[in-house]
Chains A and B, each alone.
Chain A
Amino acid sequence: MIYLRLFWEYFKIGLFSIGGGLATLPFLQDLCKKTDWFTTKDLSNLIAISECTPGPLGVNMATYTGNITAGISGSIIATLGLVAPSIIIIIIIAHFLNSFKDSKIVQNVLYGLRPASSALIAVAMCSVATVALLHLNLFNETNNILSIFDVKGIILAILLFIGVKKIKAHPVVYIAIAAVCGIIFNF
């Protein structure tokens, strides 16, 4: 019974959250109030864990609550519940997209979507940049315009960018280097 409940609750979250991983957050907060599966503290812990492990928040949360309520099989059921709506809806859309790919109107819609998609990714990049390269709270304390920049972060970013452009190794290489630099130089 708990399995069905887990599947159904996460199925609804998968169905109604639109966009990136954080879009699942308000739904998870509702679920937290409605059930005794996890506490608000669990939720904030999981957000922190999601930030330092790979994978979207929704998936991590489904795995976590599934695990504490019904063990490993619970975590599988909850995760499957979360991804099931995407699989169904995207397969239907992909099917139609394949059939109508050459239609004029689909082409025109895609003409508008492509630059918009790039723009949204650029905005996401800006928000990552404020976290990675700036010290906004330090600036608020000292009001010194120079203290806003995270010098270590900016130097690392420049070196990594040169590396990405010149060497073209797999992205994981740069992630590993950055993680090691973070630990050595106390980021």
Chain B
Amino acid sequence: MKLLLNLFTSFARIGGLTFGGGYAMLPMLQRELVEDKHWVTEEELMDYYAIGQCTPGVIAINTATFVGYKMAGILGGIFATIGVVFPSWIIITIIAMFVQHFAEYAAVQHALAGITVCVFVLILDAVIKLGKKSLKDKCSILIFLLVFCISLFTNISSAYLIIFSGILGVIICTIKTKIAKNTLEKQKEDIR
């Protein structure tokens, strides 16, 4: 029960601080789940993000369900997910009832412009951390550049890019093991 409440409050905190969509959540997730609580590793977080992209639903919600399920089963998944949407629910309920023209206030817009700069810096920091973990060899750097360019310059959905990279991963690893086997056999022959 304590763990469930812990999941709920952690994800409520993350949900309440995520301005600007699912990607902006990454720095919060890294801080809260990887560095503070040690619930998941950086690699696991990346896997969840990737899978969350090509399955139905918003990334923020998918990631919450993943981490919650890993920590405390089905109930954990439900608690973490409800936690992550809870702050938005409260805020929008208040806005719907009282302040219809919230977004039109000048102070809100200036604060938002400042926050956007900060979101950029936080994502930059997160990308640097992820890059160090995920770009370990030439092939992974190649996949990174390929997906980066395709996504930047075309309108192909990121869901397809994720599926394509998964297949690419299998092909590259198969070729790699084959090459390794061949060189091993060659070495054996050379010894003979």
Contacts and interface: CB of A to CB of B under 8 A. Distances in A.
Interface of A: 14-24, 45, 48-49, 51-60, 63-64, 67-68, 72, 75-76, 79, 83, 85-87, 89-91, 93-95, 97-98, 105, 107-126, 128-129, 131-133, 153, 156-157, 160-161, 164-165, 170-172, 174-175, 177-183, 185-187
Interface residues of B, number: 105
Nearest to A155: B117
A90 B51 CA distance: 9
Contacts of B28: 171
Contacts of A115: 134-135, 140-141, 143-144, 147, 165
Contacts of B4: none
Given A18-B53, A187-B114, A124 B23 contact: yes
Contact of A175 (B19, B104, B125, B174): B19
B91 A161 contact: no
Interface string B79-105: 001100101110111011100101110
Nearest to B19: A54
B170 A109 contact: yes
Given A20-B21, A56-B22, A116 B117 contact: no
Interface of B: 15-24, 26-28, 31, 43, 46-47, 49-62, 65-66, 69-70, 74, 77-78, 81-82, 85, 87-89, 91-93, 95-97, 100, 102-104, 107-127, 130-131, 133-135, 140-141, 143-148, 151-152, 157-159, 161-162, 164-170, 172-174
Given A18-B53, A55-B85, A111-B140, A116 B77 contact: no
B38 to A, nearest CB: 16
A123 B93 contact: no
A133 B55 CA distance: 32
Contacts of B56: 14-18, 85-86, 89
B59 A75 contact: no
Contacts of B103: 45, 48-49, 51-52
Contact of B60 (A56, A79, A112, A174): A56
A67 B162 contact: no
Q: Would you list the 7 A-B pairs with minimal beta carbon distance, nearest first?
A: A112-B169, A182-B114, A55-B88, A86-B57, A178-B118, A116-B165, A187-B113
B17 A56 contact: no
Contacts of B78: 87
A128 B104 CA distance: 21
Contact of B112 (A16, A51, A110): A51
B50 A178 contact: no
Instruction: Name which of A24, A113, A156, A182 has the most chain B CB atoms within 10 A of its CB.
Output: A113
Contacts of B112: 51-52, 179, 182
14 contacts: A17-B57, A18-B157, A53-B95, A54-B17, A63-B88, A86-B55, A109-B169, A110-B50, A111-B172, A112-B172, A114-B134, A153-B113, A171-B27, A187-B114
B121 to A, nearest CB: 4
